Chain A
Amino acid sequence: MAERCAVIGIGQTHHKESRPDLSLAGLVREAALRALEEAEMTFADIDAVVLGTAPDMFEGVAMPELYLADALGAAGKPIFRVHTAGSVGGSTTIVATHLVQAGVHQKVLTVAFEKQSEANAMWALSPAIPFQPQLVAGAGGYFAPLMRSYIRRHDAHPDTGCVVAVKDRDNGLLNPYAHLHLHQTLDEVRASPMLWDPIRYSETCPSSDGACAMVLVNDANAARVDNPAWVLGTSVRTERTFFAGRDQVNPVAGRQCAKDVYDQAGITNPLREIDCAEVYVPFSWFEPMWLENLGFCEPGEGWKMTMDGKTRRDGVCPFNMSGGVMCTNPIGASGMIRFAEAARQVRGTADAHQIDGARRALGHAYGGGSQFFAMWVVGSERP
């Protein structure tokens, strides 16, 4: 029988395009110390640290858990480093959860970060490697054809991506940690430049400096706070970038991952039983695609849910109440922010973007060519 695991402390930085006021260590500490403060703990209380970040070339520090060990109070303790591309913030949280659930540790600090301003993400993502096809299409060039496939397959309304952008940016106005605080009208989004047909400028995420941290504990320590977020299920799935007959719009790895995490949480109807979700949407068109992939609706119905306002904070299926990746994207931390924002909802600590009475929430991250998935479901009631 696995131990129960709960979140009792959550911290994040004030995310910005650049945090020149902080070193890499300062950035992770800002988040970690906030999480510890919320848990009424210090580094001395922590048994182990699990760190996640996207490719090391983003900051030019190889295996930064070594450099950051003492900054995170880990000297004399285990520190662990996860890297699963864009899903890393989620995977990192899950590794930390497993340490508690397996009974290895009682109190684990997990941290994810990215300081994009210290380097150039395009350089780090696609250095000119001999024999490799160069990235002729840029960052959105890989995903834009998938959006076109989605639109074609389901005859989706062309405004869907714009509607998501307006909603997420409006949500971000309520979140003081968000990088973008931007009120946009539908017309303004529609009028923004087309970058990678069908993706417009305003339908893309920013690039941010930021970090996120959580304190995860076992049953015996959960009572340190009166509102722990209980982990009801975690799951990861991986599929290959390419294989014959691969459904890139609605990847089977994502569907299986969702089913697995729902099964663990005892959820049979996610639309009814999950009160809100923080889902990795770096381009706004991913919202309808993930609505379907995550089983909130049948294939082809996702864009209708978005257009009908069902994913707004006052809708039946609130998505990205914090403003999501569309407002804040420190890549390596983005997945953990999703997991953490889900936990904030069920703890009732999401402040201005709180969904009243949220009892169960989904956190989601994905990476690579829509091929690495990490998810958790958290709840306000002890399982």
Chain B
Amino acid sequence: MVDVAIVAFAQLPSVRCNPVADEAELVQPVTKAAMDAVGLTQSDIGFTCSGSCDYLVGRPFSFVAAVDGLQACPPIRESHVEMDGAWALYEAFVRLLHGDLDTALVFSFGKCSVGPVPDILNVQNDPYCVQSLGLDSISAAALQARALLDAGKATERDFAEIAVRCRRDAKDNPNAHLKGDFDVDAILAEPYISSPLRKSLCSPLSDAAAAIVLATGDKARALVDRPAWIRGIDHRVEPHSLGARDLTVSPSTLIAAERAGVGRDKVDVAELYAPFAPQEIILREALGLPGEAAVNPSGGALAANSVMTAGLIRLGEAAQRVLDGRADRAVGHATSGACLQQNLVAVMEGE
């Protein structure tokens, strides 16, 4: 059995708009920073995998442009997923399980500043029956939030308290850009965007990039004192149609959490990718997080949400707390699709 660990994590600070960097100029510094942290260069890396979405910037093959940010001469073993970088990490994790390679570089990048993200995410919807209605991502999440309220599982005040907590915690996170002391009542006085969602219950949209270095067994131990061993990782999807799902629960997260072994031991910290405040409630329940777990100490997606990268950042933020000794056992989560259609859960532990 091959043990795989996260040994390095780097991110570019999330900002509302990074007008100067193209794909390659996002990828080059962040991959270099992750590799520098453990003294590696691209030629030491066994496998490279990235996650991104062409539609985010409205042009095909944005990952090809990203390869221009890499040292790929001589050629590299490389793959790409049109998914959040968290799934690129999953592919790299599986590749390392073969045992013939001992390191992998995972990265993702996203520029949300250049296009209408809520409308772009409508392009994920059923092209025959939903897309032409223009169901944006905020309105879809609002249907889910309403379902939570109607089921008596939460109140609008609960939603606002999550947003306040996340942005307060983010004050300690130099990479987050929407942070500070918010007020629950002030949020509850905000107008609805798509009711019951108000602006402060939605994530900000960000430009960012992130990179993670994975290593196996002894290689990981040689690179860092305290690797963040990936003890379990799994992802699951749900049916696409919102009308075919109970939106107040996340059965895919539940399965993924069970298979990743979240409940096998204590959880010190959990970084959840909940782009809308109500979704944190659903995810906490599905993950079965114990009360003492610190949820989204980075501020989570409500403090910075670079679509396609925010999931990988969640895994990185969780792993970093194991790497630097602040946590013994951490959970990272990523999501994709409208109303948490697809979810990935990883459990990381120190030695």
A and B touch in the complex (CB under 8 A): yes
Residues of B within 8 A of A240 (CB): 67-68, 70, 72-73
Whether the pair A76, B255 counts as a contact (CB closer than 8 A) is yes
Does A223 have its Cβ within 8 Å of any Cβ on chain B?
A: no
CB distance from B312 to the nearest CB of A (A): 15
Whether the pair A127, B121 counts as a contact (CB closer than 8 A) is no
Given A62-B55, A66-B341, A238-B67; A91-B79 close (CB under 8 Å): yes
For B79, give its contact among A59, A82, A103 (CB under 8 Å): A82
- A104–B244 Cα distance when bound, in Å, is 29
Whether the pair B127, A61 counts as a contact (CB closer than 8 A) is yes
Per-residue interface assignment for chain B, residues 322 to 351, with 1 indicating a CB less than 8 Å from any chain A CB and 0 otherwise: 000000000000001110011000000000
CB distance from B247 to the nearest CB of A (A): 15
Does B63 have its Cβ within 8 Å of any Cβ on chain A?
A: yes
Residues of B within 8 A of A124 (CB): 60
Whether the pair B64, A368 counts as a contact (CB closer than 8 A) is yes
CB distance from A113 to the nearest CB of B (A): 13
Whether the pair A98, B67 counts as a contact (CB closer than 8 A) is no
CB distance from A263 to the nearest CB of B (A): 11
- A65–B124 Cα distance when bound, in Å, is 9
Does B21 have its Cβ within 8 Å of any Cβ on chain A?
A: no
Residues of B within 8 A of A253 (CB): 75
- A237–B74 Cα distance when bound, in Å, is 10
CB distance from B98 to the nearest CB of A (A): 5
Categorize the interface residue count of chain A: 35 or more
- A243–B73 Cα distance when bound, in Å, is 8
- A84–B72 Cα distance when bound, in Å, is 15
Does A99 have its Cβ within 8 Å of any Cβ on chain B?
A: yes
Given A98-B94, A101-B98; A63-B83 close (CB under 8 Å): yes
Main secondary structure of the interface of A (DSSP, over half): loop
Residues of B within 8 A of A235 (CB): 77
Candidate in B67, B74, B82 with the most chain A CB atoms within 10 angstroms: B82
Residues of A within 8 A of B78 (CB): 236-238, 372
Whether the pair A83, B74 counts as a contact (CB closer than 8 A) is no
Residues of B within 8 A of A74 (CB): 237
- A57–B216 Cα distance when bound, in Å, is 37
Per-residue interface assignment for chain A, residues 243 to 270, with 1 indicating a CB less than 8 Å from any chain B CB and 0 otherwise: 1000000001100110000000000000
Does A194 have its Cβ within 8 Å of any Cβ on chain B?
A: no
B65 to A, closest residue via Cβ: A241
For B94, give its contact among A56, A84, A102, A252 (CB under 8 Å): A102
- A98–B92 Cα distance when bound, in Å, is 10
* Contacts of B124-175 to chain A: CB distance below 8 A: 124-128, 131
Whether the pair B75, A104 counts as a contact (CB closer than 8 A) is no
For B124, give its contact among A66, A237, A243, A257 (CB under 8 Å): A66
Does A60 have its Cβ within 8 Å of any Cβ on chain B?
A: yes
Q: Which residues of B contact A (CB under 8 A)?
A: 48, 53-55, 58-61, 63-64, 67-68, 70, 72-83, 87, 90-91, 94-95, 97-99, 120-121, 123-128, 131, 234-241, 244, 251-252, 255, 336-338, 341-342
24 chain-A/chain-B pairs, Cβ below 8 angstroms = A56-B123, A61-B124, A62-B121, A62-B124, A63-B337, A67-B126, A69-B238, A69-B239, A69-B342, A70-B241, A74-B237, A76-B238, A78-B234, A79-B237, A79-B342, A83-B81, A84-B63, A85-B61, A95-B94, A98-B91, A102-B97, A240-B68, A240-B70, A371-B64
Q: Which residues of A contact B (CB under 8 A)?
A: 1-2, 23-24, 55-57, 59-63, 65-70, 74-85, 91, 94-95, 98-99, 101-104, 124-125, 127, 129, 235-241, 243, 252-253, 256-257, 368, 371-372
